[in-house]
Structure formats: structure tokens, C-alpha cells
Structure 1
Amino acid sequence: MKYIFLAIILSGVLILGMFGLRGHKFNETPVEIFPDMDRQDRINAQSRSDFFADGVGSRKPVNGTVPIGFSVPEAAANEGDAIVDGFSLSGSYFNSGQMGDYFGDGMPAEIKVDKDFLVRGKQRYGIYCAICHADSGNGNGPVRSFGPNGGQIPIANLHDAKFSDPSNQEYRPDGEIFNIITIGRGLMGAYGGAIPAKDRWAIIAYMRALQNAKITAAKEQENKTEEGQTASTE
């Protein structure tokens, strides 16, 4: 009987050791019962690797291959042409967000804003933007609370007047937003190498949809409030 008792106690200690302290923060090296692939062979960016014969860790694309989701162009693009599936930042408004020396506003002529385009923008926004700017665009994404010394990271609220109100002196037109996504600004890194030009415009279109939805909701609430006040005075 005492062995059964002892086995139960040992089992309890083992279970507590495995699961009981999860979520607690401490500075000591934890005891690992299951390593869960915490340490495995990998290659750091721009570092050497003895796995390959040439010793180079970062590999070039295989000749003749095309990234998933892209197609081989029928002909080489001319200077200034819109590269619909590309990552270019030069030439046309589609590729740069600029009209001459100034940032333009509105979608490029190559873009058709429809339901599918906005759905694509929502998907890309969820992948690349929501982690910082939040699903709603108010800047309270999960990353915000991970500032130094437990503080908050200042992240742009996309509903602020400088992003949503064209009459604001600091207003960022669509072309400037495109440029910011492409090369980054301040704490925001560059996404031009990860997001094709067309998807950048899709993100901007979805961002404008978020802004318009909030503005519309605010106006509807304001109208209801005014109607209620009018009814109460009659």
C-alpha cells in the first residue's frame, strides 16, 4: 500500500514539475523534460554554413524558378511600366506612389477596387499590419505592450486625422502611405521586399475602408444623438 502512496506522490510531483510553473517568469535556466525542438540546426541570415559546399548560408533562388503566387512575365517591363506582381519602387505611380516630385492620392489606374481586392487587402493587412496597428487600425496591436522597461511602443493610429482627413496639414496621401510601407519610416521597418506593389495598394484600400467605416459609424451615432435631443425638447 505504501508503494502505491509513494507512486501517487511521485506522479503528482512530476506533473507539477511539468505543468505547474508554466507562465511564471524567472531568470534561471528551466529544467527541460521535453526539449520541444528549442535547439536545432539553423542558419542565421548572412552567416556561414558548412552544410553547403560553398560555405554560404544564405542561398540564391534556384535558376528558372518562380516564387509561389507569381507568374513569368510574357515580356520584359519597360522603364516606368507597372509591374503588377513585382516589388519595384521606380517609374510609375503604381510602383512608387509618386506623381513627379509629390506623393499622389487615390488608387493607380492599374488598380480596380472591388470586393476581391478589398478581401485581399484585409488578408495582407492581417498578416503584415495588424500585429502593430491592430485589426481596427487604432495602433493597439499586440506589439504595442512590448516597449522597453515594460513601457508601450508608440504605434500610429491609422484613424488619426493625419491619416484619414485630407484637410489636415499633416495628411498622408495614398502615395505616401505606399512609400512608407515600401521603405519604412521611424520605428516601422521596410516591407517593400516582402509585399508586392499590388498588395501594398490593396492594404491601403482596406485601410481607407476601415477609416470610412469608423467615420460613417461616428456620423450615424451623432445623428441619433441629435434626433434624441430634438425629440426630448418637443
Structure 2
Amino acid sequence: MRYIFLATILGGVLILGMFGLRGHKFNETPVEIFPDMDRQDRVNAQSRSDFFADGVGSRKPVNGTVPVGFSVPEVAANVGDAIVDGFSLKGNYFNSGQIGDYYGDGLPEEIEMDKDFLIRGKQRYGIYCAICHADSGNGNGRVRSFGPNGGQIPIANLHDAKFSDPSNPEYRPDGEIFEIITIGRGLMGPYGGAIPAKDRWAIIAYMRALQNAKINAEKQQGKEPAESQTTSTE
């Protein structure tokens, strides 16, 4: 037993002597069993690259190409025009959610409301929104239980009157929801850089469909739409 113990110690010393401790400084190239991606075939931002003739590592998009999932616009867009397949520009209702100094309500005229548009909204909602607001929109998504000290994160219930009832003094019209998705509010971060403008409107359309489905279900059961107790992050 004593020899096994000594052999284990000697083996550990031998391994440390061969490979060294991570963080030690020495002149020889270390032997790396797991390099942990310390060296990669990549180019850092704003760095030089000998791969290209001009030596510039950061490249402009190739002419005539568009990102995956986007279509080529039929005509060049002017500032303020609706970029149906892209991200927001300031200007009209489609891109800002505002009409003059006020938030608009309803979908922009550039949007064609049909089944495919709602399906797209459901898909985008499932990717970006359901993790917090839940599939039903009631604010009980998986993220809610990860509050500090075992508590719950206050997440907006999209069925609250201020989101679903236009007669409520705190009602958020579609244009304001669009702005919240774009630049964030409260604990909710901005999604304007991740979700194109048209998809933001699709999410809003699907959110309204969820609200209407809940209201209609309660009417069929002979109940008044319930006031939610979920605290909003706004």
C-alpha cells in the first residue's frame, strides 16, 4: 500500500514537471492537452490580416449580398421609407411606432395581415419573448423564477388591462409596444438590433391574438376578463 501511495505522488510530480502549471512563465512552448481555443484561425476586429491583398482584416459586405433570412429590396430605400425586410430607420410609423408626437395603434399600412404573418409572429415570439413572458403571455416564463435570493423577477403580464384594454388609462398601443421591443424598458433589454421591424410587428400581431383568445375564452365561460396580479417590470 505504501508503494502505491509513493508511486501516486511521484506520478503527480512527474506530470507537473512535464506539463507545468497553467499561468507559469517559461521560454519553451508548453504542451497543451486542452488548448481551450487559446489560438484560433480567426481575425480580431480592426486587426491586420495577410490573407487579403490590402492587409485589412475587417471586410465590407460583398456587393449584391444580403444577410441570411432577408430578401433583396426591389428599390433602394430613402431615409424614412419602410424597410420591410430590414431593421428600423427613424421616420414613419412602420419604423418608429409613432405618428407625429403620439404612438399609433394598429398595424402599419405596409403590413399585410394574413395567416402566414401570424405564424411568423408566433415563431418570433417563441424565440425572443416566451422565455420571459411565457407561451401564453402571462409573464410566468422560465426566467421569472431566477430572481435574486430565490425570489421572482417581475415580468409584465401581456394580458394586463394596460396592455389589452384600450379604455385603460395606462394602455400601451401597438406603437408603444413596438418602441419597447426596439429600445427596451425597465428590466427588458432592447431587441431592435436582433429583430427586424417587420418581425416586431408580427410579434405584436401575435400578442394581440393571444389577448383576444383569452378574452373570448372568458366570455364563453361567462366570466369578466380578470385583472392580473403579475407585477410589470416597467
Give, in whole Å, the separation in 1 of the partners of 2:112 and 2:193: 23
Partner letter of residue 210 of structure 2? L
Aligned to 1:163: 163
Distance 2:58 2:145 in 1: 35
Partner of 2:108: 108
1:90/1:132 Cα in 2 relative to 1: closer, same or farther (>3 Å)? same
Deviates more, 1:185-194 or 1:69-78: 69-78
Structure 1 residue ranges without an equivalent (≥5): 1-37, 44-48, 224-234
Task: Note the alpha carbon deviations across 1:141-169, whole angstroms, 9 max, x for none.
Answer: 00000011111100000000000000000
Q: Is the 8 A contact 2:79 2:89 kept in 1?
A: no
Unaligned runs of 5+ in 2: 1-33, 49-56, 224-234
Q: Secondary structure at the match of 1:204?
A: helix
What is the CA–CA distance in structure 2 between the aligned matches of 1:41 and 1:62, rounded to whole Å? 27
Matching residue's letter, 1:63: V
The question of whether the paired residues in 1 share the 8 Å contact of 2:125 and 2:203 is answered with: yes
Instruction: State the shift of 1:60 in Å.
Output: 5.7
Which residue in the other structure is 1:136 paired with? 136
The normalised TM-score by structure 2 is 0.71
Match of 1:52 in 2: 43
- The CA distance in 1 between the partners of 2:203 and 2:122, in whole Å, is 7
Superposition RMSD in Å? 2.4
**Aligned residue identity for 2:182:** T
1:2-41 pair list within 5 angstroms? 40-41=36-37
Paired with 2:198 and 2:125, the residues of 1 have a C-alpha distance of 13
Report the equivalent of 1:21.
none
SS at match of 2:222: helix
**Does 65-74 or 209-218 show the bigger shift?**
65-74
The aligned counterpart of 1:218 is 218
Shift of 1:52: 2.3
Is the 2:144–2:153 Cα contact (8 Å) retained in structure 1?
yes
Change (3 A) 1:188 1:61: farther
Q: Quote the residue 1:190 is aligned against.
A: 190
Runs of at least 4 residues off by over 3 Å: 53-56, 58-62
Partner of 1:173 in structure 2?
A: 173
3-state SS, counterpart of residue 182 of structure 1: helix
Q: TM-score, normalised by structure 1?
A: 0.71
Which residue matches 2:85?
85
Counterpart mapping for 1:115-154 below 5 A: 115-154=115-154
Residue 62 of structure 2 corresponds to 63
Q: Which residue of 1 aligns with 2:72?
A: 72
Deviations 1:172-218 (A, max 9, x none): 00000000000000100000000000000000000000000000000
Distance (Å, rounded) in 1 between the aligned partners of 2:215 and 2:114:
20
8 Å CA contact 2:73–2:85 kept in 1: the answer is no
Deviation (angstroms), 1:112: 1.3
Paired with 2:198 and 2:61, the residues of 1 have a C-alpha distance of 25
1:8-28 CA-to-partner distances (Å, cap 9, x unmatched) read xxxxxxxxxxxxxxxxxxxxx
- Specify which structure has the higher proportion of helix: 1
